[in-house]
Amino acid sequence: MRFWNPEASSQKRPGRAALTGVLAAVIAAAWPGAVHGSDAQNPARRTELVKLVERLAPSVVNITTFTPRKEGGAYVDRGTGAIIHRAGYILTNSHVAKWPVKNLVTLRDKSQHSYRLVAAMPSADLALIKIDTKAALVPVKIGRSNDLMIGEPVLVIGNPRGHAHSVTRGIVSAVGRRSPSPQWAIDDMIQTDAPLNPGNSGGPLFNAVGEQIGVVAQRREDSQGIGYAIPIDLVRRTFPAMLAPEMRFGFFLGAEVDAMGSEATVTKVLAASPAEKAGIRQGDVIRRVGKMPVGDGFQFYLSLIDRLPGRALSIEFKRGAKVVTVSPKLARYPTVKAAGGKDLKPGIHYEGFLGNWEKLPNLGKLTPAERGLAKSLSRSVLKDRGEWFALRFTGYLKVPADGAYTFFLQSDDGSRLHIGRTLVVDNSSTEGLAMASGMIRLEAGHHPLTVSYLQRDGHAALLVSYEGPKILKQEIPAEALFHRLSKQAGKARKPKGRNETE
């Protein structure tokens, strides 16, 4: 092979085309098969990993939120999400899907859309958002995380530091890890060494065949190569309760579907429900709801979003080899009636109990050491106690409109919230700061409220928040709390009970 020598004046200097050919020849000699590498279709370049990324990338979105700052401008936060239905439903973290003034979802084709928050479960750091597009989107395939192998390869596509659709890979380093964040008490996280950065949160963790096996949540700030993802089986278990479509949108169908399986198999039909009256039975496989195809339990619950009571809903299901279509008329979901009166006063009663309980006791069976009236649901009402006590607040909560209300309890070392006799939130974790939430449909007006709280030794925290019609998520304000005058007041003896629990 002859090369051009710049020091040989007798040689004619080759043109650019000739140089390109020479360079290609050199590369070919050093790396067989690379000459034609300029062709992106070259099998030597189009590895299985490249093909997998090309297939998965359209199912991943980049999320940007803009939150106004008091001094002007806005805080810009970034995250990632995975499309789980072609109609535009996206799974992400609750800490990514905030309630900003402005938000943008950017698709692989660089088109941008605003999203609306459909549902969130902060205790599991999960949220569902929705964008509206004219074209059908490409959803991910939801996998399982019950059979993960330590060392198996994983892939992450996300939006780290705003670098849209960046790809990193690694392995499953461990399973069953506890979340290092005090905000989420998740005990079975997937640990991975795939590089993660701020902006990857909410994105999908894929296995080698392109199934989503987790939701990227966080990384250890004090380490390298230690990241965490919420296992997809936890998402499957959580999804029906997080979305709670019947309670959220006020209709009643009365059929439950397996969220863990590969098909939308009916697991339960409530007696005298519209589903039962229409002939739907346990074991039927739902294939279509309205105009929406249903392939698994995820899609079944998605298909119930925005349905209204009083309307017929077409449902196609398979029973054995037979395909059946029915149209049950959706009933109205029951709403808890208001139970307050005109004699209510601002403020809420509290009772303080002393004892070294291991978990939150049944405070209704114990004698309080202190009683009083509080303006808010704050643990600071017992000013002289720092450890080993319990609190119970009792009174009324005023809500402004009929509809579904979500309540949030963040506490250390355990708390519960009742509306009337209904346990709405059970945050029974005693392993540090944790959050839990629950939903209930309430009629406008006053409702009996009970909040119980345990403080052992160490850190202390209690935050009671809610959201609902006309209410953005916020701590329950003093103006929403009321009480009736009680004949009981003053001090009471220290309780003898110790291990009795609710």
SS (H, E, C) 274-337: HHHHCCCCCCCEEEEECCEECCCHHHHHHHCCCCCCCCECCEEEEECCEEEEECCECEECCCEC
Using DSSP's 3-state secondary structure scheme, residue 480 falls into helix
Residue 100's CB: how many other CB atoms inside 10 A?
Answer: 17
Nearest to 204 by CA among 164, 254, 158, 266: 158
Rg (CA), the chain: 28
Helical residues (DSSP H) of 125-227, grouped into ranges: none
Q: What residues are paired with 286 via a beta bridge?
A: 264, 317
CB 140 within 8 A of CB 59: yes
Q: Supply the DSSP string of 77-92, one letter for each residue.
A: EEEEEEEEETTTEEEE
Q: How many angstroms separate the CA atoms of 315 and 160, rounded?
A: 41
Has 125 been annotated as catalytic? yes
Q: Which two tokens stand for residue 82?
A: 């995975």
Distances (CA, A) of 113 to 134, 162, 166, 199, 413: 11, 16, 20, 18, 41
CB 289 within 8 A of CB 345: no
Which of 201, 415, 428, 465 is catalytic? The answer is 201
Distances (CA, A) of 174 to 93, 148, 152: 21, 9, 10
DSSP-assigned letter for residue 498 = -
Tokens 């649901």 map to which residue? 377
CB 255 within 8 A of CB 266: yes
Which of 77, 85, 94, 95 is catalytic? The answer is 95
Q: Which two tokens stand for residue 306?
A: 């925005």
Q: Which residues have a Cβ under 8 Å from the Cβ of 498 and sit 6 or more positions away?
A: 355, 356, 357, 361
CB 360 within 8 A of CB 451: no
Nearest to 498 by CA among 301, 400, 353, 288: 353
Distances (CA, A) of 333 to 253, 266, 272, 440, 478: 9, 20, 13, 11, 30
Distances (CA, A) of 300 to 138, 261, 296: 17, 12, 6
Which of 59, 77, 85, 125 is catalytic? The answer is 125
Amino acid type, 305:
I
Amino acid type, 104:
L
Q: Which two tokens stand for residue 117?
A: 């928050």
**Hey, which residues are catalytic here?**
95, 125, 201
